Amino acid sequence: MVDPRRYFDEIELGEEYESPGRTVTEADIVMFAGLSGDYNVLHTDAEFMKQTIFGERIAHGLLCLAIQSGLFTRATAPYATLGFGGLRWKFKAPVKIGDTIRLRAKVVDKKGLDKPDRGQITLDRTILNQRDEVVQQGQTDLVVQKRP
Amino acid sequence: MSAATYFEDVVVDEVKFTPAVTVTEAHVEMYQGLTREMSATPSHVPDVLPLCLVVGLGWRVKEPPMAVQAFVALDWKVVKELRVGDTMHSRSRIISKRPMRDGGLIVDERTILDQHGAVVQQGRFTFLVAKRQKETSA
């Protein structure tokens, strides 16, 4: 069987990907509040939020961060990922119910790690909304297997 | 009226521990249905899930939660993978506060620990937190 995954050696600096869009719904926010236990009024109290600069409930920042992680798997062929190393991230603008977000990503660094069977791939990632506004942006480090 | 901890009341260097949660197959299934983030190995929890759960655990300490107006930035490292069935809790330490015109920035260092006390994930959250005098409608 052909392994569809791409190994560290095959991923090139400068590769760029763009994911399909995903509309963030009220159901996504309610489910995420239930799953995470984060019931901050920002995400759960429509009446309170009418009085704020946002005017309505906004999605949890981490919900959109998690959604982009899923969108990445739909943006390109899967990497032979062993794990997630870390991230440096900025939340720049709110995502509201009904907004459609998508991910744009670019490989900006590759380096070997102590264990010879793996390397680290760093990606610049930008989450854009339907108006092409940047809502979140940062870098993620993925630990990717080398071709055995 | 729900109480909150405002910017002025946040104490630098204060350490808090949260209750724990056992991360189950059900958490992973719900999370994957919601986000489609897959784990690299089936017995491992997707790496962003513990980060999502740690925010919820932060709401379960006895002190009132910070009056967070916005999540500004996140700097995070995964130290060790969490397995389904592991029980995680977290430690929070406020490392700095900087007043702004509206509210102020709080940097909160969070550490996720497993049932053996080993560090699983660790990093810094930057929040914009409301000042007390801003509260007019409460």
Q: Could you report the per-residue pLDDT of A73-119, keeping only the tens digit for each? A: 999 999 999 989 999 999 999 999 999 999 999 999 999 999 999 99
- Residue corresponding to tokens 């899930």: B49
Closest residue by Cα to residue B33 from A67, A34, A20, A76: A67
Q: A98 vs chain B: nearest CA distance in angstroms? A: 15
Chain A residues in contact with chain B using a Cβ-Cβ cutoff of 8 Å: 28, 31-32, 35-40, 42, 51, 60-63, 65-67, 69-71, 73-74, 81-91, 94, 138
Q: What is the CATH number of the domain that holds A93?
A: 3.10.129.10
ipTM of the complex as predicted: 0.90
Given the structure tokens 């910017």, which residue do they identify?
Answer: B7
Q: Is residue A34 part of a domain?
A: yes
Residues B3-30 pLDDT 10s:
889 999 999 999 999 999 999 999 999 9
- The answer to whether A85 contacts B77, with C-beta atoms less than 8 Å apart, is yes
Question: Residues, chain B, total?
Answer: 138
Q: Which residues of A touch B73 (CB under 8 A)?
A: 89-91
Contacts of B74 in chain A (CB under 8 A): 61, 65, 87-91, 138
8 Å CB contact of A40 and B57:
no
> Containing domain of residue A71, as a range?
8-145
Distance from CA of B46 to the nearest CA of A (A): 9
pLDDT, residue B136, reads 53
A39 vs B contacts (CB less than 8 Å)? 59
In a domain, A24, yes or no: yes
Distance CA(B18)–CA(A115), nearest Å, equals 34
pLDDT higher than 70, residue B100:
yes
Cα radius of gyration (chain A): 17
Residue B105 near chain A (CB below 8 Å): no
- Measure CB to CB from residue A87 to each of B40, B59, B74 and give the nearest one: B74
Return all residues near B44 (Cβ < 8 A) that are at least 6 apart. Answer: A83, B81, B82, B83, B84
Report how far residue A15's alpha carbon sits from residue A41's, in angstroms, rounded to the nearest whole number.
40
Sign of CA dihedral A25, A30, A31, A35: positive
DSSP H helical ranges for A18-126: 26-36, 41-44, 46-50, 61-75
Q: Which of B93, B18, B87, B95 is nearest to B58 (CA)?
A: B18
Q: Which residue shows structure tokens 């729900």?
A: B2
Written as one letter, the residue type at A146 is K
Whether the pLDDT of residue B40 is over 80: the answer is: no
Q: Check: CB of residue A142 under 8 Å from CB of residue A120.
A: yes
Whether A2 maps to a domain, the answer reads no
Query: Which positions in chain B touch A81 (Cβ < 8 Å)?
Result: 40
Give the domains, in start order, of chain B with CATH numbers: 7-133 (3.10.129.10)
B19-33, B56-70, B122-136, range with greatest mean pLDDT: B19-33
Residue A44 lies in a domain: yes
The alpha-carbon gap from B13 to the nearest alpha carbon of chain A, in Å, equals 23
Residue at B72: amino acid letter: V
pLDDT confidence bin for B1, thresholds 50/70/90: very low
Q: Give B38's contacts in chain A (Cβ within 8 Å).
A: 70, 73
A64 is a domain residue: yes
A1 inside domain: no
CA atoms within 13 Å, Cβ hemisphere of A52: 18
- Give me the number of domains chain A comprises: 1
> Nearest CB to A65: which of B30, B34, B48?
B48
